[in-house]
Structure 1
Amino acid sequence: MKKVILSIALVAFATGAFAQKKVVSAAEKNFKKGDLELALTEIDAALDNPETKDNPETPLLKARILTKKFGQDSSNVASTVETGRAALEQFTKAMEMSGNDKESKVGKEVYKEEIPDLGENFRPYSIRTLKNSAFEKAIVTYENEDMEMAYEFFNLMSDIDPTDTTASFNAGYIANDIGNYEDAKKQFKKLIEVKEYNKLSAYYLLIQIISGEDKEPEEAYKYVTRARADYPDDKTLSEFEVQLLLQMNKMDEAMASVKEALVSDPNNAGLLLRYGYLLEQSGDKAGALEEYKKSVVADPNFFEGNYYTGAIFLDQAREILSKINDLTDDEWEKNAPTMTKQAEGLYAESVQYFEKGLSLRPDNVEIMEILYNVHVRLKNTAEVEKYNKMLVAKLGADWMEK
């Protein structure tokens, strides 16, 4: 009797196992036919059954079904990304169950190459297929200016193949563009760890996010230091270094850094401007003016250079007028006319720089007001009226009262 019962149990066991294998076979058949929803229902049943769930070919088949579904979904919305990520999860699970051995039977299927122009039933629907489909969707959504989804598909590509630096950079670049700074930093930090990769642009963007968005100049400076070690001759990194030292109020270090940078790059408008700023902060306004003017010579369309040059002329004029007010009666009669003429000469000198700045930024109301007041001081009636009309158009007739 015991033998009979055991035989029955073995038959039942074999029948159950056979039935579950039939479910897997049915799932594969429906996958090839294109009935993907039915195939998913069947493979999910196999993944829930003890007889088939531990076979790595079961999650592999689900990954292939999901990859096919992902590729066919032209809506390219959040649910499309979820399908792609679910496929990646199943490929990862199949590999883990196979000891992450790419040379195993399952490993070879997971990483089977996608050969262009193969017929539908000959495509491998491997992890390579998944990556290619993600790339196609990234390009389509990018060209349609759907940056949120373009980021998601490039990010998926990056997770499918962490060695694909182009996918990581594109994901980081778009994330930065749409204000997703944390994900952008994640991508750029990953890239700067890749030994052979030209990571200069990744450094630029990472430093700008940390210093500008995060407002952490000390942290940004760490990356500048590291970047300069990798790219010692890069001029932009020199500018970043000076800028961050200024943000950290490390004037002496900033002065040393900008002087060093100007030796090899004497016509860099940005560096000249920062050098001028440092000189101005130290009280050397004449030296600052010289450097500001040099920055405009180096780049006539450099807005900041024009603005700072005009502003320092105004500061010098105001200082002279302030001194006139402190003169005694005797000194006033003797020196005031000459000093007033000198101050007005400085006001006049500022005009060309502010006019250039306004030509570069035509909607800059601050510069319009400066030019209005300068021409009032110089009694240039026509220019006063010109800038008054511009300000009325921008701010209204009562702009002076605002």
Structure 2
Amino acid sequence: MKKLLVSFLLCSATFTVMAQRAKVSSAEENLKKPDLEKAKADIDAALQNDKTKNDAKTWLVNGQILEAMGTKAKDPALALQAYDSYKKALEIDPKMKEAVLVMNQSMYNIYAVVANAGYAALNEQKWEPAFTNFTKAEDVVSFFNSKNLGSTIPTDTSLVFYTGYAANQAGQKDQALTYLQKAADLQFKAEPALYVILGQLYEEKGDNAGWLKAIEQGKTVFPKDKRFNDMEMMYYTKTGKTTELLSMLEKKIAENPDDQQLQLDYAIRLDNLANPHDEKGNEVAKPANYDELIGKAEAAYKKVLAANPSDAIANFQLGALFFNKAVVYNKQLNDLDSKQQTGPKAKELQGKMEELMNQSLPYFEKADQSFAAKGANLEASDKQSYESCLYALQKIYAIKNQTAKMEEVKKKLDALK
């Protein structure tokens, strides 16, 4: 009797295993129909049974069903559950033959669902979900490609870029730098923003070598995008490499002699180098080569005005150049003691100051006319220059005792406020 009982129990156990494996087969059949609800119910039963829950085939079929559900619903959560199930199958049986036949398309489908969820979040400016989905999509690719299952999912450079972009927007600067640098190394060429943001991130980190490299890469890939010229000039300015900056500008002017904006930028750069200020906007000591810099700036402004006499900014800047020199003499005059105020030194300084004021006046007046002619089209960036121009005119008219003109300028200033 014992022997019969044991035999009966063994048959019963075998029947139970076969029944649960039948659940796996039934799940496969329902997946093919497709009846995903029945397929999921069948595979869940197999996953809950001790005899089949540790079979690679059970987890493989579970992954297929979840993948189909996730793809149909475009649900990244379901797709990632499918991914985990496939990983479990390979964990149980790393050399599973069926995985070679199934997983290439399946893993790509999972990757596509999760990546598309990232793009959807990106379009809605939901930066954290976008970044999370993008990184999970990349995890899917990295895992599958590491398993040598007969094929790979190609690297999507766009996804790498947008992962970095989303990270940057979400404030995750280190992650952003990693992904954006990877996109640059992969020679991503669809978005100049890659190199703009990459340069900014390196600048924020104080990595000047990385900053300059990003600018140079941007210029190479997008030679017509002027932002990289501006970034390059900013780099040379902030790193104190004035010789390189001026050489770069002079080279560009030689290559583009009719580019008046470039000529004006060059003049302003020279002017700013000759009249440096600290971070708070306070004047600091003039450089040793002040006379050389200011002379080149004056000549450059005049070249711009020779081509376009009514250029508002060039007129204002050249007027300011003479006016600022006059202010230096005025300060020296005010620093004289009471006895010196009536002496030859005072007379010399007064003469130099008035001469420079007179030189600046026609340029300020021309700038006033040009700015005023823009009327409602005056750009916000020009408004500050116009205000400075009017304040300078008011000062000059006061020195000349031209009260009527002072009042006229005052009305213009009031109208700008």
Question: How big is each residue's C-alpha offset from its partner over 1:180-212, in whole Å with a ceiling of 9 and x where there is no partner?
Answer: 544432321221232x6448833332112332x
- Which sits farther off after the overlay, 258-267 or 85-94? 258-267
Q: 1:292 to 1:363 in 2, by over 3 A?
A: closer
State how far apart, in whole Å, the 1-side matches of 2:302 and 2:71 are. Answer: 59
Q: 1:109 aligns with which of 102, 124, 141?
A: 102
Instruction: Please tell me whether the aligned partners of residues 24 and 42 of structure 2 are also in contact (alpha carbons under 8 angstroms).
Output: no
State how far apart, in whole Å, the 1-side matches of 2:95 and 2:303 are. Answer: 61
State how far apart, in whole Å, the 2-side matches of 1:223 and 1:183 are. Answer: 19
Unmatched 5+ stretches in structure 2: 142-153, 277-286, 398-404
1:288 Cα offset (Å): 3.7
Q: 1:108 to 1:294 in 2, by over 3 A?
A: farther
Question: How big is each residue's C-alpha offset from its partner over 1:86-139, in whole Å with a ceiling of 9 and x where there is no partner?
Answer: 3333344445666489xx532331223xxxxxxxxxxxxx23333443465456
1:259 Cα offset (Å): 5.2
Greater radius of gyration (CA): 2
1:163 Cα offset (Å): 0.3
| TM superposition score normalised by structure 2 | 0.64
Aligned letter for 2:107? I
SS of alignment partner, residue 192 of structure 1: helix
Instruction: Indicate the residue corresponding to 1:384 in structure 2.
Output: 410
Instruction: Please tell me whether the aligned partners of residues 95 and 107 of structure 1 are also in contact (alpha carbons under 8 angstroms).
Output: no
Instruction: Indicate the residue corresponding to 2:342 in structure 1.
Output: 329
Instruction: Indicate the residue corresponding to 2:22 in structure 1.
Output: 22
1:384 Cα offset (Å): 1.6
Aligned letter for 2:24? V
Q: 1:312 to 1:24 in 2, by over 3 A?
A: farther
Q: 1:261 to 1:160 in 2, by over 3 A?
A: farther
State how far apart, in whole Å, the 1-side matches of 2:78 and 2:170 are. Answer: 23
Instruction: Indicate the residue corresponding to 2:108 in structure 1.
Output: 128
| TM superposition score normalised by structure 1 | 0.66
Unmatched 5+ stretches in structure 1: 75-79, 113-125, 392-402
State how far apart, in whole Å, the 2-side matches of 1:49 and 1:256 are. Answer: 77
Instruction: Indicate the residue corresponding to 1:206 in structure 2.
Output: 198
SS of alignment partner, residue 35 of structure 1: helix
Instruction: Indicate the residue corresponding to 1:33 in structure 2.
Output: 35
1:164 Cα offset (Å): 1.0
State how far apart, in whole Å, the 1-side matches of 2:392 and 2:209 are. Answer: 42
Give identity over the alignment, percent: 18
Instruction: Please tell me whether the aligned partners of residues 317 and 347 of structure 1 are also in contact (alpha carbons under 8 angstroms).
Output: no
- Which sits farther off after the overlay, 289-298 or 198-207? 289-298
Q: 1:287 aligns with which of 293, 296, 299?
A: 296
Instruction: Indicate the residue corresponding to 2:400 in structure 1.
Output: none
Q: What is the correspondence of 1:3-402 to structure 2 with a 5 Å cutoff?
A: 7=7, 10-28=10-28, 32-35=34-37, 39=40, 42-43=43-44, 46=47, 49=50, 51-55=52-56, 57-73=57-73, 80-94=75-89, 99=94, 104-112=97-105, 126-134=106-114, 137=117, 141=121, 149=129, 152-161=132-141, 163-177=155-169, 179-194=171-186, 197-198=188-189, 201=192, 202-211=194-203, 214-218=204-208, 220-221=210-211, 223-224=213-214, 227=217, 239-252=230-243, 254-255=245-246, 267=259, 269=262, 272=266, 274=269, 277-278=272-273, 282=287, 283=290, 284-291=293-300, 312-325=321-334, 326=336, 328-331=341-344, 332-333=346-347, 336=350, 339-346=353-360, 349-350=363-364, 352=367, 355=371, 361-362=379-380, 366-367=384-385, 369-379=387-397, 380=405, 381-391=407-417
Cα RMSD of the aligned pairs, angstroms, is: 4.9
